[in-house]
């Protein structure tokens, strides 16, 4: 199984990407507890110590090649996070995708493309099978995966509401990713 | 210029099955009042750059319609 290096550092589409570290705990707690951002994600403890425990568990799964939590910076400032997880055989889930509003809007879109490129290109995975789902009111993410041509596979009901599950093959990602990249500023392409 | 921005925003809103707005106010917040997602804002940025050759987010954040007008009038 191919794994990402622990010291992954990547500059792509105007963003800097690396894997999560314990010192990111405070940033993650703040980001995930922003009332606007928290609407469509699981409840996050406001305790930095709790988040450090979460990060330690991510790092254990990272060593096993099952989970990669990415931290993105834009112009030197922490900008947002996303994750590819439940990596097994040829499939994975892309999620935990939260970006602040203090950056150009394309950054969140670019982070999605970077995570999927790492999954499909670098790790050689074939399909994202999102069994966790996307909240039915999370229009931005639904727009995103529709643009990539994802197939909706069902619905799940959680206390937070109705979520749509989906599937996105490597083939469809490469066929459609330029529909997202066209939304990036010309200067970074 | 204001009419062009209104047309672009309404075309994005219509694509998201939102009702077109009849007019824009300089205080309208792009996310909260006009309900634009990050995806929509990226689309808006590209459409404005295509029309005016200006990346409205190049040197800072833009949250309101008034701030877009200011960027385009600079």
pLDDT (0 to 100) of residue A35? 86
Neighbours of B27 (CB within 10 A): 9
Query: Is pLDDT above 90 for B74?
Result: no
User: Which of B14, B16, B39 is the best residue to mutate to test the A interface, defined by the most A CB atoms within 10 Å of its own CB?
Assistant: B39
Neighbours of B57 (CB within 10 A): 21
A99 touches chain B (CB under 8 A): yes
Give the 3-state secondary structure of residue A14: coil
- CA–CA distance from A149 to each of A103, A134, A171, A172 (Å)? 26, 15, 10, 6
CB–CB of A85/A93 below 8 Å?
Answer: yes
Domains of chain A in start order, with CATH, are 11-184 (3.40.630.30)
| Of residues B16, B43, B58, nearest to A183 (C-beta) | B43
A102 touches chain B (CB under 8 A): yes
In chain A, what residues touch B55 (CB-CB under 8 Å)?
Answer: 185-187
> Mean per-residue pLDDT for A7-23?
97
pLDDT (0 to 100) of residue A4? 96
Taking the alpha carbons of B43, B48, B54, B57 in that order, is the dihedral positive or negative?
A: negative
How near does any CA of chain A get to the CA of B41, in Å?
A: 6
How many residues does the structure list for chain A? 189
**Helix or strand holding residue A70 (H, E):** strand A67-74
User: B13: pLDDT confidence band, cut at 50, 70 and 90?
Assistant: very high
B55/A143 touch (CB, cutoff 8 Å), yes or no: no
Sheet containing A15-19: order of strands = A9-12, A15-19, A67-74, A77-88, A91-99, A127-135, A161-169, A151-158
Query: Is pLDDT above 80 for B49?
Result: yes
pLDDT digits (tens, 9 = 90+) for A21-31: 999 999 999 99
Residue of A84, A79, A71, A176 whose CA lies nearest to A128: A84
Residue of B71, B50, B69, B49 whose CA lies nearest to B59: B71
pLDDT digits (tens, 9 = 90+) for A26-58: 999 999 999 888 888 888 999 999 999 999 999
> Mean per-residue pLDDT for A159-175?
95
Place of tokens 């200011």: B70
Instruction: Please list, in sequence order, all residues whose beta carbon lies within 8 angstroms of the beta carbon of residue A56, skipping any fewer than 6 positions away.
Output: A22
**Helix or strand holding residue A68 (H, E):** strand A67-74
- CA–CA distance from B1 to each of A106, A144, B47, B61, B68 (Å)? 23, 29, 13, 20, 10
Residue ranges of domains in chain B = 2-11+29-73
């Amino acid at each position: 199984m191919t794994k990402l290096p622990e010291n992954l550092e990547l500059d792509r589409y105007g963003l800097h990407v690396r894997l999560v570290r314990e010192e990111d705990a405070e940033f993650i707690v703040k980001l995930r507890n922003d009332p606007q951002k928290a609407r469509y994600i699981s409840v996050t403890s406001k305790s930095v110590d709790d988040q450090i425990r979460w990060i330690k568990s991510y790092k254990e799964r990272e060593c096993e090649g099952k989970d990669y939590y990415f931290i993105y910076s834009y112009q030197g400032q922490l900008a947002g996070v996303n994750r590819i997880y439940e990596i097994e055989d040829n499939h994975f889930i892309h999620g935990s995708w939260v970006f602040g509003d203090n950056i150009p809007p394309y950054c969140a879109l670019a982070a999605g493309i970077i995570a999927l490129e790492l999954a499909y290109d670098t790790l050689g995975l074939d399909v994202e099978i999102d069994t966790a789902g996307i909240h039915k009111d999370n229009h931005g993410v639904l727009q995103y995966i529709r643009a990539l041509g994802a197939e909706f596979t069902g619905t799940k009901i959680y206390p937070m509401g109705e979520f749509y599950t989906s599937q996105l093959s490597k083939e469809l990602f490469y066929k459609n990713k330029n529909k997202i990249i066209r939304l990036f500023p010309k200067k970074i392409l | 210029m204001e009419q062009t921005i209104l047309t672009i925003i309404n075309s994005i809103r219509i694509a998201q099955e939102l009702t077109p707005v009849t007019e824009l106010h300089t205080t309208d917040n792009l996310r909260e009042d006009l309900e634009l997602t990050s995806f929509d804002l990226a689309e808006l940025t590209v459409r404005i750059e295509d029309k005016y050759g200006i990346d409205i987010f190049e040197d800072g954040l833009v949250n309101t319609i008034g701030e877009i007008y200011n960027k385009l009038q600079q």
